[in-house]
Amino acid sequence: MAQAGQQPSEVVHAEPQGMEEEARLLTSLQEIPNFSKCWLRSAHADALSLTVQYSQRNLPGNSQRKYAQTMHVPKGFSGDHKVTPSFPLELKDVQMLSLSPSGKRTLIVRGASEGNSCSLEVWMGNRVTKELFVPKKQHGGVYNDGWFGNGAAWSPDESRLAYVAEAPAASQTPSWGGLVKSSGEGDDKDMAAPKTWTGQGEWQEDWGELNVGKRPPSLFVLDLKRWSLKPVRGLPPDSSVGQPEWTPDGLSLVCTVWFHKAHNFPTMPQRLGIVYCMNRPCSLYSVRIPFTCKNNTPSDLNPQAKCLTEALLSAASPKFAPGGDKLIFLSHDAAASSGVHHATAALKCLNWSKEGAQTAVETVVEVVDSLTSDDAFPGLYLGALPESPFLDSNTLIVTSQWRSSTAILAISLDSGNVQRISQHDTDRASWAFAATCQGAVVAVTSSARQPPNLQILTQAASNNPVWVPLAFEGSWPFDKAVEQALPNMQHDILKVKATNAPNLPVEAVFITHKDVASPRPTILMPHGGPHSCYPTSYFSGYTFLVSLGYNLVLVNFRGSTGFGENSIQSLPGNIATNDVLDCMACLQAAIETGMVDKDKVGVMGGSHGGFLTGNLVGQYPSCFKCGVLRNPVMDLGLMIHCSDIPDWCYIEAFGSKEGLRRMQVKPTLEDLKRWREVSPIGHADKVTAPLFFMLGGKDQRVPQRDAKQYLAAFKARQNAPETRVIVFPEDTHALDKPQTEFEQFLNAAWWFKRFLT
């Protein structure tokens, strides 16, 4: 009871209020599992064995739950019945799961414990043949990020395997305290002494976003006959190494080497961020891996790696064709030479014999500059080749962006012919290659109204390939609210002419409710990058917002991947102009469908999409009622000093040629002036829309103080619009932890509910 003269304490309500029903729907949508990896191999004469690794958000644990199931699929499967999977096996504390090509052996890498960096379990059939604990002095954590490392590389006879892990510490961290005079009576470490503590070693550079505090990736080889684990020696110093691939004779490894100083940016001496950055120079090297034996020669004990791709700025993701006569790899020279962070890739080849690479590099698939028609092949857009990508000795299977969707491509290594083998005339779904074996291909497909599901093509080489769904016995039905929401989703692709470049394609994925009776509130969503793309695949957050009554306009502006290299290179030097104009053109195209209430439009974006959100509400203040910004770029003049990719600021603001000429650690006044011209902070005084900021406390790409500086300028205005900020302290740039993803979309829905309805 309050004492006399005191006011009763005010009840503080948690925000957002009144969102209980929406929270239940979002929870159900986010619990739908995804397929993260598949292995397909021969089981017996009449069936294939398919092992599927799933990931499912564990919201209470704020983690991704991983589990696996195995099932037999009859050869020639027609989809006329469901297949029966095994019991699900949770992969708890598993950092890496790698099946050997024959399926007879499995490597399971588990996390650190009691002074060890990890444990290595080698399985043969249904039993563990050996478990090794790797001390931290031998190497650090394992890289299995899909870039430096993606599973283990098994030698042809499966007697050795190579994987990627952090290099051991270069020097021992000092210990202090506990210093007592030796007693001279045996081992003093067992005597009573003051408490010690570990001091600080020398700071070491790292690869930035998602790699903070990690030592460089290095190669290690486990010999399964001698049970010895050794580092690979002879590789270039001051470099990181990954993506190992055994040569056909099993005596050497081919790997990718990234030098820590990017020689395409000579005025940037620091190590730059590498996640999502295809413009970092890299080369392929081969190095001999000797067996441990008494007959080793001096050259075996001190091998020297050989560069295979000296003429290229970029060579990565090596894979030997099944015949062993060709080494296939990707080159991102278009990105490395221009400075843009993602561009059109080329597929390259080295002919191979017992003596190694025999000829100069040949091109299998060229960079595509422009599209000759709506259905024309737009070029290759992928960061790395799949783990086991060969349909046969002459056919490579990959997933690539194809305009506003993803497609599965079959590439002839002899002719370079590219064929889209995934369906593209129904539902405009996106497809991703998962696994192949004996002429069969497994794919993951999804769309706005269809969560990820598996399809199989049993005769991929036939003239009339037919995909059939892989349905599982015992699959648990979706929650009732999800079952009601999904069938009502529909999407279309709006084709738009660019305002000042009609020959460059612009598209938007327009997602809405199929039974729209009147114009609805609409959210414009530009993507990040800027050189990335919104595909037509399923995403729980989009289904959630459409279920609440909103249309979504996902904009693929000029500069997006999947539309040819000319489109990509048209954006650098024109950010905040071309991309903004394209966003407004896509919004107008959506309004012209008659399904959009033009007086109830919001905008939401992250990273470069947040940059565009800030520019849109500033340049077109009367068009937007509110905005949501996720780790946005708001002030390039500040970002240049704190981001792990300062090169981005020069290339995107000035264009490739001028950006490369100007690039330096200490910007000039002219540089700062240009960055202010294109940055949202330059329009802060014109914004009338309430803004919601969502920031990651550990973001190295666009650190949170960039947005907070904008907020300070915004709030300095008299009668400034309402703002709200949430900082997720443990999140990086992607803001993709399960609880963070949940809170983002629930809070965004609350914000749109307040200002658009």
Establish whether 332 is a catalytic residue. no
pLDDT, residue 76, reads 84
* 735-745 per-position pLDDT tens digit: 999 999 999 99
* 383-394 per-position pLDDT tens digit: 999 999 999 999
Residue 111 contacts residue 95 (beta carbons within 8 Å): yes
Q: What is the mean pLDDT of residues 316-330?
A: 97
What are the structure tokens assigned to 303, written together? 């091998």
Lowest mean pLDDT among 9-18, 233-242, 672-681: 9-18
* Active-site residue identified among 607, 643, 656, 679: 607
Structural element, H or E, at residue 150: none
Domain covering 480-756, topology: Rossmann fold (3.40.50)
Q: Say yes or no to pLDDT of 557 above 70.
A: yes
Q: What is the mean pLDDT of residues 264-276?
A: 97
In sequence order, what are the residues at sequence separation of 6 or more whose Cβ sits closer than 8 angstroms to the Cβ of residue 6? none
How many C-beta atoms surround the C-beta of residue 703 within 10 A? 21
pLDDT, residue 301, reads 66
What are the structure tokens assigned to 465, written together? 């390939």
How many C-beta atoms surround the C-beta of residue 201 within 10 A? 12
Per DSSP, the three-state class of 385 is coil
Q: What is the mean pLDDT of residues 433-444?
A: 96
Q: What is the mean pLDDT of residues 142-170?
A: 96
Establish whether 582 is a catalytic residue. no
Residue 714 contacts residue 720 (beta carbons within 8 Å): yes
Task: Return mean pLDDT, the chain.
Answer: 92
CA distances, 364 to each of 84, 334, 394, 448 (Å): 40, 15, 11, 34
The pLDDT-based confidence of 43 (bands split at 50, 70, 90) is confident
pLDDT, residue 105, reads 95
pLDDT, residue 5, reads 45
pLDDT, residue 476, reads 75
pLDDT, residue 45, reads 82
* Active-site residue identified among 671, 699, 706, 731: 699
pLDDT, residue 200, reads 86
What are the structure tokens assigned to 26, written together? 């979002």
* 218-231 per-position pLDDT tens digit: 999 999 999 999 99
* 97-108 per-position pLDDT tens digit: 999 999 899 999
Q: Say yes or no to pLDDT of 8 above 50.
A: no
pLDDT top residue among 321 and 503: 321
Establish whether 607 is a catalytic residue. yes
Task: Report, in angstroms and rounded to the nearest whole number, the Rg of the chain calculated over CA atoms.
Answer: 27
What percentage of the chain reaches a pLDDT higher than 90? 81
> Is the Cα dihedral 227, 228, 234, 239 positive or negative?
positive
Q: Which residue has the tokens 């990627």?
A: 164
The pLDDT-based confidence of 311 (bands split at 50, 70, 90) is very high
pLDDT, residue 183, reads 55
pLDDT, residue 114, reads 83
C-alpha to C-alpha distance for 139 and 353, rounded to whole angstroms: 33
Asked whether the whole model's pTM tops 0.75, one would answer: yes
Q: Say yes or no to pLDDT of 13 above 70.
A: no
DSSP symbols for 326-340: EEEEEE-HHHHHH--
pLDDT top residue among 424 and 456: 456
Structural element, H or E, at residue 545: helix 540-547
* 584-636 per-position pLDDT tens digit: 999 999 999 999 999 999 999 999 999 999 999 999 999 999 999 999 999 99
* 481-492 per-position pLDDT tens digit: 899 889 989 999
In sequence order, what are the residues at sequence separation of 6 or more whose Cβ sits closer than 8 angstroms to the Cβ of residue 363? 346, 347, 348, 349, 416
Q: Say yes or no to pLDDT of 258 above 50.
A: yes
